[in-house]
Structure 1
């Protein structure tokens, strides 16, 4: 009898490294919390497929783990949380320092928050780690203010490399924030194109979302806060629904604005055509149940929106406000219609165009999928990030 044994490729990679006496690099991912958001979802997707033969990970949340805590813990990496006793707890670095020593961390990957920046700086200052990668996922404020305060800048001298999400984002970090251009790498967000893909939707699933037979579905996925301008989308919806009654608007996500937004639907008289789904874990299925995706965010709130990539990979035509680096994701007039921010009429008109012209919408969706698959996959992003880790660690070895 012949016995066939199958091994996990990641297990084989780990064993190969051990046989060749290669040491995997340990990376500590330092964040405030892991609530639902593009940055957190992207980190989860990245760690889900990180090359475990070359890298090991530790996840450290200064506050509570947040909504995605359980999902991250299931990945099997070291997990720490609730290190801060209060908002300005600088002494919490002692806890971080113990974690760095216990886990034998080589590199810190952190995000642009005062606490994470300070603790990463201290780790470099005390030579507790060899390198520091600082990823920046934001671009200033809606009022045009800077993202990085003067106090934070005091602790950036020891950053090994910065990660920007797009070419325009890098330009902003250099021209507005004053960061050194030669230390900034552009690594675009990536989407799992196997998870997010076009396809038919289950009628029962659509019914569960409150979608009636024959309704066209316009979807947005966002945290319900003022910056996402869901109120503007609802105003646009009221304009669209004056002419087209068989349209369902799906608002996917949760947040502090939900009660106010639900009140607005009643004010506009469109509550029967709007569904608030709350936070969902089945976004791919929701997008496959949709006909059109809309991003209505205000200026200064988006950098390289992951939700747009997810919609494009799902084969949806897109309507988006002209914010952040949106024009580096979509092809205006080919895969999307880009409109000025804060303009409900323009947003409504773009929605109407794609709801009215099904062939144009189909072609836009095909083009969006093509762009996502060719340029913005999760695999492409992961490879670039892993190469960056190897690069900064090799430089640190030469410096030693």
Structure 2
């Protein structure tokens, strides 16, 4: 198949934004499909959501594509002028959960051949019984457990002592959606319990994709503290589970679905207040850290391997073209 991917989610130097879209595109190419990418907004600014429509229409008309796959609701406007080529629209989280984005998506998306969601929870939030679930996949060859010796070496290179308890934060601290303030409050609560926790931040300046693997290996726990209703994933939960890193997460995105049956790990429901959330996360994180165990997540989440996910997407494409 020949596919045009239209997206406002695409990795730029020093950023992992949209890495799941890029890895999905690469997975399609590995299966022999021809995929071109048109990036909307990002470096061109927000005005490009409007200005991109003629550009996308021309490219779709001249490229001989079988279909156009639009990633993210706000990007849908740029594909409204496309004619004669079926469109697949993937929705990822805020474009469903944020009321203003949801309204814009509904107004601008038109009638795509199919809407794709990364989790059942998001399908339910969208109230879309015709929605198709294609989870975001991960590279099991990259995210693979390291030996105890390699883990110890990774910890040493990152400046951690053998008795440190390392808690990983999976985003830049200035990303308000990820609630670094909750993360630091949980660490303070763990220290009050006598647990010598130290933080480790996953992103770093000039960091390439492979550089995150030693950080997953060095950590004792991934702690996810994102705002309610802002995540479709997060992808790092799957990556951590694939590497055997225990996860404690607020009940965001598909974390509960991914971690079902993964031991040790925990998902904490959102209570009425931040203080109660911190208290619940401290209790869950302390239990996991005190166990001292790696998780059995890799075997449990095999369904999220990128090659399996991409084959599911190809089946969706084939169904659209078969109509």
Q: How does 1:83-94 map to 2 (within 5 A)?
A: 87=47, 90-94=50-54
| 1:311 paired residue number | 240
Q: Tell me, in whole angstroms, the C-alpha distance in 2 between the residues paired with 1:208 and 1:122.
A: 52
| Partner SS for 2:167 | strand
Q: Alpha carbons of 1:287 and 1:92: their partners in 2 closer, same or farther (altered >3 Å)? A: closer
CA RMSD of aligned residues (A): 2.6
| 1:135 paired residue number | 90
Q: Tell me, in whole angstroms, the C-alpha distance in 1 between the residues paired with 2:306 and 2:153.
A: 30
CA contact (8 A) 1:26 1:56 kept: yes
Q: Report how far residue 338 of structure 1 moved.
A: 1.5
Q: Report how far residue 141 of structure 1 moved.
A: 7.9
Q: Tell me, in whole angstroms, the C-alpha distance in 1 between the residues paired with 2:96 and 2:59.
A: 33
Q: Alpha carbons of 1:279 and 1:190: their partners in 2 closer, same or farther (altered >3 Å)? A: same
| Cα distance per residue 1:103-151 (max 9 Å; x no partner) | 222211112343x21221210xx32xx2101001105688x736411x4
Q: Tell me, in whole angstroms, the C-alpha distance in 1 between the residues paired with 2:125 and 2:214.
A: 35
| Partner SS for 2:92 | coil
2:161 aligned to which of 192, 202, 212:
212
When the two structures are aligned, how many residues end up with a matched partner? 311
Q: TM-score, normalised by structure 1?
A: 0.71
CA contact (8 A) 2:154 2:217 kept: no
Q: Report how far residue 227 of structure 1 moved.
A: 1.5
Give unmatched runs, 5+ long, in structure 2: none
Q: Tell me, in whole angstroms, the C-alpha distance in 1 between the residues paired with 2:320 and 2:24.
A: 19
CA contact (8 A) 1:252 1:279 kept: no
Q: Report how far residue 188 of structure 1 moved.
A: 1.5
Q: TM-score, normalised by structure 2?
A: 0.86
| Partner SS for 2:80 | helix
CA contact (8 A) 2:28 2:310 kept: yes
Q: How does 1:312-331 map to 2 (within 5 A)?
A: 312-331=241-260
CA contact (8 A) 1:139 1:147 kept: yes
Q: Give the structure with higher Rg (CA).
A: 1
| Partner SS for 2:65 | coil
1:352 aligned to which of 257, 267, 286:
286
1:98 aligned to which of 58, 62, 76:
58
| 1:148 paired residue number | 102
| 1:157 paired residue number | 110
Q: Alpha carbons of 1:92 and 1:42: their partners in 2 closer, same or farther (altered >3 Å)? A: closer
2:21 aligned to which of 40, 43, 46:
43
Q: Alpha carbons of 1:344 and 1:389: their partners in 2 closer, same or farther (altered >3 Å)? A: same
Give unmatched runs, 5+ long, in structure 1: 1-24, 66-81, 254-276, 396-400
